[in-house]
Amino acid sequence: MTKRLILLFTICFSLQSFGFSDKQMKQEGPVNGKEQVDAYIKHHIKDSHDFHLFSYTNDQGERKHVGFPLPVIVWSSKGLVTFMSSAFHHDDDGKVIVERNGAKFVKLHSKIYELEDGASSVSFDEEHHATNAHKVLDFSITKSVLGVLLVGLFMLLAFSSLARQYGKKQVPTGFGRVLEPLVLYVRDEIARPNIGEKHYRRFTGYLLTVFFFIWILNLLGLTPFGFNVTGQLAVTACLAIFTLFIYTFSGNKHYWQHMLWMPDAPWWIRPVLAVIELAGAFIIKPFSLLVRLFANISAGHIVVMSLIAIMFTLKDSLTVGGATALSLVLSFFITLIEVLVAFLQAYIFAMLSALFIGMAVADHGHDHGHDDHGKEIPDAEDVRADFI
């Protein structure tokens, strides 16, 4: 049943995506040159201040955009300023100037700038950098922020329902029957073996949160809505920093002793080992977490969008139907792989986080990767106690 749902999910959203792309190809004309293809891909993977679905040209030759605006919240020289992103009219070149609270704002390359006092337009240098505008502190509800809020709300509702069923000693029903095997998997295959029998309960909640958060966002990125939340470096960096804080402040004395003054090593090499260990704990480990997730998800989106671009670039050499069919087959195959990658990247992030935490809390002289008491892993009945 699960395989059928995944296949149906992929087919539906792939067809919708190609429907949008085919409409653009028919109404916008051929795409010529690498620059236009690059712009097409970058537009898909980057964050934006509005929720844009697709664009088309009507019979009068006017360009129409389908979507809805999002709130812009910025801190400027005049204080906090709010307005809707529709005020920019989809302009990204600084041509539209928005005046609010005595300040003037423009949008350049998806970034919001404030014009200097007295300026009526944006001036650029030879490298097309604004010379009379500066960035503002941007607290806007962007498309990625909206995705995070939607997934957070979904997880809150889904797992609150599951927790209430556990509290009533009930066997999960409805969507809870889908969630319970995954909860058991994270607890028994990720948290317990890597953190150990003594400490795993303390960190299972966090591992469940990051696993489902990343997995659902990865799946959301495969839809035609244009979400690419886990492909944003700021999001993956925040998740990596959370893991960094947890294993840093949870580390026991043995963890810090091995890091700062390695036992059984010659005294003259211990300072060198301490520098290496500190760099690994505070730089290499979080960097590997954030880059692995960011790079894999972004690469997947770029590959899919590049294959979709085939129907644009080959329009002149092939028929429209032939270009679309070739693009559809290749992109659909990659999309199937991306469904697997969506789960795999969530698993890897949770697994590495559990491994780093387990190294920090491991008891000296014990193998934290196994059950020290030789107990059997409890069945589904036992996991309900973790939610109460």
| Structural domain contains residue 300 | yes
Query: Residue 230 CA to chain centroid, in angstroms?
Result: 1
Helical residues (DSSP H) of 188-252, grouped into ranges: 192-195, 200-220, 233-250
Instruction: Report the C-alpha dihedral over residues 124, 127, 133, 139, rounded to 10 degrees.
Output: 140
Helix (H) or strand (E) holding 103: strand 103-108
Choosing from 96, 118, 140, the residue where a domain stops is: 140
- Give the residue among 122, 123, 145, 131 at the shortest CA–CA distance from 72: 145
**What per-residue confidence (pLDDT) applies to 7?**
53
**What per-residue confidence (pLDDT) applies to 282?**
95
Are 303 and 335 in a shared domain? yes
Read off the pTM: 0.82
Give the Cα separation of 182 and 349 in Å (integer): 15
Choosing from 140, 161, 176, the residue where a domain stops is: 140
Q: Residue 84: which domain range?
A: 71-140
Please report, in tens digits, the pLDDT of each residue of the chain (388 residues total): 455 555 555 554 444 444 444 434 433 444 455 666 677 777 778 888 888 777 667 777 776 777 889 999 999 988 999 999 989 887 778 788 899 888 889 998 888 999 988 788 888 887 777 888 888 999 999 999 999 999 999 999 989 888 888 877 777 877 788 888 999 999 999 999 999 999 999 999 999 999 999 999 999 888 877 788 999 999 999 999 999 999 999 999 999 988 998 888 888 999 999 999 999 999 999 999 999 999 999 888 888 877 777 766 666 555 555 666 776 777 778 888 888 999 999 999 999 999 999 999 988 654 444 444 444 444 444 444 444 3
**What per-residue confidence (pLDDT) applies to 50?**
87
Give the Cα separation of 27 and 252 in Å (integer): 63
Are 190 and 266 in a shared domain? yes
Q: Decide: 49 and 140 in contact? Cβ < 8 Å.
A: yes
Are 205 and 81 in a shared domain? no
Are 221 and 89 in a shared domain? no
The owner of tokens 């919240």 is: 73
Q: Decide: 101 and 79 in contact? Cβ < 8 Å.
A: yes
Choosing from 111, 140, 169, the residue where a domain stops is: 140
- Give the residue among 349, 337, 354, 146 at the shortest CA–CA distance from 236: 349
What is the domain count for the chain?
Answer: 2
